[in-house]
Structure 1
């Protein structure tokens, strides 16, 4: 088992963590290393659930903060081991996981080891299976198995945010829009009904759709409705009798699941619609006292999080949560994934200062 030295810098820890391959469903080696590393510190109580590791302080503070990060990555594509690169005078760590989100995890691990007397009690969570189907998500599993571990007044998720504070998140919905036809030989197409042709209005409505911008508690969230997959066809000489367009709707956190579903049904009136997955977003929650103190301490101007993140799980439990981590979210999952070294240092300083003085 590779050893993690939590006395090393956050930058060096990022390199070490990224070089331990942990694609989704293969996180055990990294989870073992994390568990072994944090178990060496007496001020932390360590709990293991599958490949999720929790470490928490119990100092009797009046407030508790939950700080979480996922340890899995999307598949590697010739972008490990981590390399040091310089682009236009700026130094980067380049490689899978540097952005999403092992740099954030590295900062958290270092602070978990070093903050023996924080101003608030802290529950650190490093969890598995974030990059795959939500039913497998380690944070979701932990909330079912050990809901007591989620007690807290505020939560921070180390998702990449360019070292800025991103409040809440959009919700996400996937729907299958279907058309039916009648099979026939393509040489006698008039005998059948082409289900793919019938899908043309679906694509037209998507092309005509204009993303809405919706203000929620002072942050403006941008919605989106897009086709992400289309299937249909039987053979090169057969008129297809079925077609299916998969649509992804990203909706502002002002909408609940029922409201988002209504939007999709309104847009695609007249078609067969099957909602196959939906996850509500999270309102910013920046009016919570700890949230205000955190934003002030790191000197941030909060922005909206357009993608869905696990802050929604905390929000559903009544815990205000924000995204705060190094890395450009546009480079998450990118083959040239890379994080500025300066952002890793900045996020560590921001979290350290706040947790020490809040």
Structure 2
């Protein structure tokens, strides 16, 4: 016997968001929410529904000339540990503002997807709605990545929108990200006879000097200005309070514009730290803006706002890797994501729904 859904996809989308937020879904604990989404969508006769673990794909098949994807993740970061924090579960509402974990990242966007999936039986494009797990953790756990491996045909489209928070404007593409370890070595010795050793931590000083002197670029990519950054994010070394350290490593994070690929980014980092031992430990490609076709221009025209670049990495990169142009567009301020005061205006969620509804039906 199937699970009885608690979600009413035809009620006010802000209230729907609240209901979704009240189903706690910290990464690894998405099943309860995924069950609700799956059972609700299975009841819509105009959609074909597929489930892979805690990821759900629902698709119209109307024979339209183009297909678009609306995608969002079901998971959130862990709940706040601060007593009295409002960015938690269950959600609360004060003066038209919805507070709680996932308010901006990104259950408002998920509610918009669900509302559109229920309402639009004859959109001007075929639409694929994707709800996936494990976005907020290591990339190898990503539900969207798993779908791309197991069922790539379900993700194929002409254009994709990731409903991450963008304050209601289009943010094109995203910066890439990469992490490196820059290492130094020395000779261990008793700290009382320091001259007998060679201090690896001291030898790391030039690494920090080079980073402090580094001037990040702002790169124009198809009319959007992507600001890069390169920073030390961790430093470690030493074994005891009375031992000269023989090893030190500085972890460096490089956020690079989407005119570069991972190989370009690695070359830039190795050039900056020439003479040091450098190892790339992680990386994800960026994505170009995705605004160079009429289907994207029509969304921008409806909004009447200039698109912006996305500085952070998002899953538009995964769509880009599949050859699908993709943008970020969703309710809420990304700067509030993951905070103890996470919140979103109820009206911002309604406005996002109205914009996408108009875009998906304007020719009908």
**In which range does the TM-score fall when normalised by the shorter chain?**
over 0.9
**SS at 2:267 equivalent:** helix
Residue of structure 2 equivalent to 1:184: 189
CA distance in 2 between partners of 1:340 and 1:203 (Å): 41
Which residue number corresponds to residue 169 of structure 1?
A: 174
Task: Quote the residue 2:152 is aligned against.
Answer: 147
Distance 1:111 1:258 in 2: 40
- Residue 43 of structure 2: which of 40, 47, 72 is its match? 40
Please tell me whether the aligned partners of residues 172 and 291 of structure 2 are also in contact (alpha carbons under 8 angstroms): yes
Partner secondary structure for residue 298 of structure 2? helix
TM-score w.r.t. length of structure 2: 0.95
Deviation at 1:25, TM superposition (A): 1.3
Equivalent residue of 1:164, what SS? coil
C-alpha offsets along residues 146-170 of structure 1, whole Å, 9 cap, x if unaligned? 0101211110000110011000100
2:124 aligned counterpart, secondary structure: coil
Distance apart, 1:80 and its partner CA: 2.0
Other-structure match for 1:246: 251
Secondary structure class of the residue paired with 2:109? helix
1:107-126 alignment, distance < 5 Å: 107-126=112-131
Aligned to 1:209: 214
Report the alpha carbon displacement of residue 294 of structure 1 after superposing the two structures with TM. Answer: 1.5
Match of 2:21? 18
- Aligned-partner SS, 1:248: strand
TM-score by length of 1: 0.97
Of residues 53, 56, 61, the one that matches 1:53 is: 56
**Residues 1:81 and 2:72 are matched in the alignment:** no
**Which residue does the alignment assign to 2:277?**
272
Q: Which runs of 4+ in 1 moved over 6 A?
A: none
Q: What residue in structure 1 maps to residue 65 of structure 2?
A: 62
1:100 matched to 2:105: yes
Secondary structure of the structure 2 residue equivalent to 1:124:
strand
* 1:128 correspondence with 2:172: no
1:21-44 per-residue CA deviation (whole Å, 9 max, x = no partner) reads 111111111111110111111111
1:257 to 262, 277, 280: 262
Cα displacement string for residues 63-82 of structure 1 (whole angstroms, at most 9, x for unaligned residues): 10011001111110152211
Q: Does 1:137 align with 2:142?
A: yes
**8 A Cα contact 2:75 2:136, kept in partner:** yes
Unaligned 5+ segments in structure 2 are none
Q: Deviations over 1:267-324 (max 9, x none)?
A: 1111111101111111112111211112112323110000010111111111111000
> Who is 1:9 aligned against?
12
Is the CA contact 1:157–1:323 (under 8 Å) kept in the aligned structure 2? yes
The number of aligned residues is 354
Tell me which moved more, 193-202 or 318-327.
193-202
Contact 1:104 1:326 in 2 (8 A): yes
Offset, 1:233? 1.6
What is the CA deviation profile of residues 86-145 of structure 1, one whole-angstrom value per residue up to 9, with x for unaligned ones?
Answer: 4xxxx3111111011111001111111111111110000000111111111111110110
**Aligned to 2:205, which of 200, 204, 216?**
200
Instruction: Verify: 1:304 aligned to 2:309, yes or no.
Output: yes
Which is worse superposed, 101-110 or 296-305?
A: 296-305
* Pairing 1:235–2:240 present: yes
* Structure 1 Cα separation of the partners of residues 232 and 202 of structure 2: 16
Provide the rounded CA distance (Å) in 2 between the counterparts of 1:27 and 1:192. Answer: 52
Distance in 2, matches of 1:340 and 1:207, equals 39
Q: 2:34 — aligned with what?
A: 31
8 A contact 2:14–2:347 mirrored in 1: no
Distance in 1 (CA, whole Å) between partners of 2:354 and 2:305 is 13
Query: 1-side partners of 2:360 and 2:200: how far apart?
Result: 58
User: C-alpha distance in 2, partners of 1:130/1:300?
Assistant: 28
Give the gaps of 5 or more residues in structure 1: none
